[in-house]
Amino acid sequence: MLRWCRIESFVRDDGGYTTLAMALALLVSVTMIFGMAAAQWSLARSADVQEVADAAAMAGENGVAAFSTVAQTLDACVLTMGLTGTIVCGAGLVVAAIPPLEGYAATIMDTGKKILSARRDFAGSSAKGLKELEDALPALIMANSASCVSANSRNGVRYVGMAVPFPQESKSDYSFLKNDVDPSKMDESAKELSKASGDAQDARDRVDAAKERAWRADNVNDPMCMHSRAETLAGLGGSLNPSYPSPDAWEFEYARLRTRNYYARRYSQESFAGGSVDELQRSAARKQFYGYAYEAVGRMSCVDSKDTVHMDLWELPHNTDMVRDTRLYTDAVWPCTQEEAGCTLHCSLSCPGATGPYLGSTSLSQVDVGGALLCETCRMDAHAMGNVASASTNIDNGYEHYWRIVVDASKDYEAARKDQIEAEKEMQDAADEGSDAFDKAMEALKVDRPKLCPPGAYGCVGVVARPQTMSTPTELTSAFVAGVELPRGAAVSAATLAPDQTTERNTVLARAFDGLRGGEGSLVLNLVGSVTGLWSDLLVGYGSAYGSMEKTGSRFLDGIEGLGGEKVATWLKKKVSETVETAGLEPADLRLRKPVLVNSQTVLDKAGYTTLGKAREVIQQLPTSPEELVALMRSKVQERLGEGPVTVAEIPVPGLEGVKIPLTLDLSRLGAVS
């Protein structure tokens, strides 16, 4: 009817709008407002199902994230427990090569063996716990996601659905948890090393005692010594008669050189200045003795090198029998004269008994065999020669007395040094075996890090349906807009795990185990007490920028004090440290994982499904009741894992016997790690 109205019906003559125009404008505006509101409501309800599907996929993948955290934690614990036990055994090997600390090696080695034994048991239980958890993971994922979908049902809008993991069955291999580290070879080497080390220390003690005894006889007035006697008796001083302040600065060769200098000076000084026949005889005998002693000491030698020792020192003759074993007895140096009784031997032609013609020289041995007669005036014979050094050898104010101490000590020193060289050779052999055993133990840890592929590893596809139709709310319908029916709806989404780069320096392990740092200290006695700190450092640092496994292991070994000049121990520590530093173990990726939305076809392609047919199939099988679906999924979880918190494994803390950290899942939250 309005179409027949003229323009004057809407616009007045003065240019203003009529009442009819205003009424029609209001009517059109109200109709458009209600129409747009109804359209917006329809679009919003249609889009809501997609948001719920996104949430379901993320909730399902949260369960996979929880499992990944558990698996990463257990893998890192098993690996670092192996490293800890092996490094502690390596420390035991080093300590075994440090006399007199080798007694602690057994305790340290026992600690390392206990750690490796605990690791073996823990690895077995971890593999079992992970397998059981992984078997229940599909039900856990679906229960978690179904609960999420159900929680989004509100304001009269009901949704039903869940997330489906892909792959749906495990493709993981847990054999990496079963690799074993056998410490028996290291233990055997440590025992051999400890024994050889003890033998070397015993020999070294005897070496030091013998050397100090000889040094004192040569340098320390107790009550006198070779140095002071040489100075007093021969006027020997300066570089010919030096004094040595300690055994460390002294060698047996120095005593030999002093003695040769002493007899050279005594020989040159000896001359008969007048007196009785007895004094003449003693002077002549001393002259021969000093000459012989100078020559004899010149033939002696002292060889003391790294691998060779030969102390060729001997006593000088100080009785008749000893004289008869030397050239003093056989050298023809004594003058003979033709006396009334026959050919007679004298100490000198100055002897009052030498009255007849000179017949030449002969030896003292001729007196004993009848080749020459004993002069009854000077009575020069082997017995007289033996008396020259008798008193000075047997009384503590004689030079020869202290020389005899040096000679006796040199024999003990030589025997002890040979024992020491042999023991150190055995130490090196045992250290070589121990180093090889340590290398093999570290090699056993060089397995590939686990390639876990649990259900949901490719991702989770969330499928959600709104099973009922919906009418436009009466608030949006009136005489202006007709009500409409919104049909049932469904949506598909997908999520997968991605490493959280922000956690590279703050892994779950760093937060969980920072409190386990052991006490500081570097003494051998504190080594066992530092084991917990070693494991903690290895654990929180391994696989991230938080720390360095190589530096941590080397720092622990650097804490071994008492190496001093122990060549074998120093060599072995260097070898063990180098093995740790060059182990090249593949680090565990300990970054936290978080769910991210992805194209559902990406997940299905990995699982081998080229279309969304699998998702449609799942949607068609969904029950119409969200409560029914949640209850069904929860029952499947409880069938697998039971009710309440589930302990996947108990992590033994190295160095704290009996202390274990439970790793649990709180099923009340369906997938959250407690």
Residue-wise pLDDT tens digits, 89-147: 888 888 888 777 777 788 888 888 888 888 888 777 877 778 888 888 888 888 888 88
Question: Do 244 and 177 have their domain in common?
Answer: no
Question: What pLDDT score was predicted for residue 418?
Answer: 95
Question: Do 175 and 216 have their domain in common?
Answer: no
Written as one string, the DSSP assignment of 117-153 is HHHHHHHHHHHHHHHHHHHHHHHHHHHHHHHHHHHT-
Question: Do 171 and 202 have their domain in common?
Answer: no
Give me the mean pLDDT over the 544-569 stretch. 60
| Burial zone of 595 (CB within 10 Å; 0-12 exposed, 13-18 middle, 19+ buried) | buried
Task: Tell me the C-alpha to C-alpha distance, in Å, between residue 195 and each of 41, 157, 381, 475.
Answer: 88, 81, 55, 95
In a domain, 429, yes or no: no
In a domain, 189, yes or no: no
Question: Do 646 and 500 have their domain in common?
Answer: yes
Question: What pLDDT score was predicted for residue 295?
Answer: 97
Question: Do 177 and 202 have their domain in common?
Answer: no
Question: Phi and psi at residue 161, in whole multiples of 5°?
Answer: 165, 180
Question: What pLDDT score was predicted for residue 592?
Answer: 72
In a domain, 4, yes or no: no
Percent of the chain whose predicted confidence (pLDDT) is above 70:
68
DSSP label at residue 326: S
In a domain, 553, yes or no: yes
Question: What pLDDT score was predicted for residue 672?
Answer: 36
Per-residue pLDDT at 516 exceeds 70? no
Per-residue pLDDT at 309 exceeds 80? yes
In a domain, 190, yes or no: no
Question: Do 154 and 42 have their domain in common?
Answer: yes
Question: Do 160 and 206 have their domain in common?
Answer: no
Q: Which of 49, 174, 36, 151 has its CA nearest to residue 488?
A: 49
Could you read off the pLDDT of 575-631 as tens digits, one per residue? 777 777 666 565 566 667 788 888 878 887 887 776 556 556 655 565 656 566 667
Per-residue pLDDT at 76 exceeds 50? yes
Give me the mean pLDDT over the 9-30 stretch. 65
CB burial of 101-130 (b: ≥16 within 10 Å; e: otherwise) equals bbebbbebbbbbbbbbebbbebbebbbebb
Per-residue pLDDT at 70 exceeds 70? yes
Question: Do 555 and 667 have their domain in common?
Answer: yes
Question: What pLDDT score was predicted for residue 8?
Answer: 62
Question: What pLDDT score was predicted for residue 493?
Answer: 85
Task: State the pLDDT confidence band at 374, using cuts at 50, 70 and 90.
Answer: very high
Question: What pLDDT score was predicted for residue 466?
Answer: 74
Q: Which of 394, 424, 454 is the last residue of a domain?
A: 424
Question: Do 561 and 655 have their domain in common?
Answer: yes
Tokens of 46: 């249609």
Task: State the pLDDT confidence band at 525, using cuts at 50, 70 and 90.
Answer: very low
Which is more confident, 288 or 530?
A: 288
Sign of CA pseudo-dihedral 241, 247, 248, 251: positive
From the centroid of its chain, how far is CA 485? 73
Give me the mean pLDDT over the 218-242 stretch. 96
Task: State the pLDDT confidence band at 379, using cuts at 50, 70 and 90.
Answer: very high
Task: State the pLDDT confidence band at 69, using cuts at 50, 70 and 90.
Answer: confident
Task: Tell me the C-alpha to C-alpha distance, in Å, between residue 134 and each of 95, 277, 448, 590.
Answer: 44, 113, 20, 19
Q: Which of 424, 458, 474 is the last residue of a domain?
A: 424
Could you read off the pLDDT of 164-174 as tens digits, one per residue? 888 878 787 77
Task: State the pLDDT confidence band at 190, using cuts at 50, 70 and 90.
Answer: confident
| Domain that residue 285 falls in | 197-424
Tokens of 18: 């009529």
Task: State the pLDDT confidence band at 421, using cuts at 50, 70 and 90.
Answer: very high
Could you read off the pLDDT of 315-352 as tens digits, one per residue? 999 999 999 999 999 999 999 999 999 999 999 999 99
Question: What pLDDT score was predicted for residue 297?
Answer: 97
Could you read off the pLDDT of 470-482 as tens digits, one per residue? 545 555 455 555 5
How far is 674 from 672, CA to CA, in rounded Å? 6
Question: Do 203 and 313 have their domain in common?
Answer: yes
pTM of the model: 0.68
Per-residue pLDDT at 563 exceeds 60? no
Give me the mean pLDDT over the 182-202 stretch. 86
Q: Domain tally for the chain?
A: 2
Q: What is the mean pLDDT of the chain?
A: 78
Question: Do 115 and 219 have their domain in common?
Answer: no
Question: What pLDDT score was predicted for residue 269?
Answer: 96
In a domain, 432, yes or no: no
Which is more confident, 329 or 568?
A: 329
Per-residue pLDDT at 294 exceeds 60? yes
Q: Which of 368, 394, 424 is the last residue of a domain?
A: 424
Task: State the pLDDT confidence band at 674, using cuts at 50, 70 and 90.
Answer: very low
In a domain, 44, yes or no: yes
Could you read off the pLDDT of 380-399 as tens digits, one per residue? 999 999 999 999 999 999 99
In a domain, 13, yes or no: no
Lowest average pLDDT, out of 121-125, 490-494, 556-560, goes to: 556-560
Question: What pLDDT score was predicted for residue 442?
Answer: 80
Helical pair 226-234 and 184-219, crossing angle rounded to 10 deg? 20
Question: Do 405 and 479 have their domain in common?
Answer: no
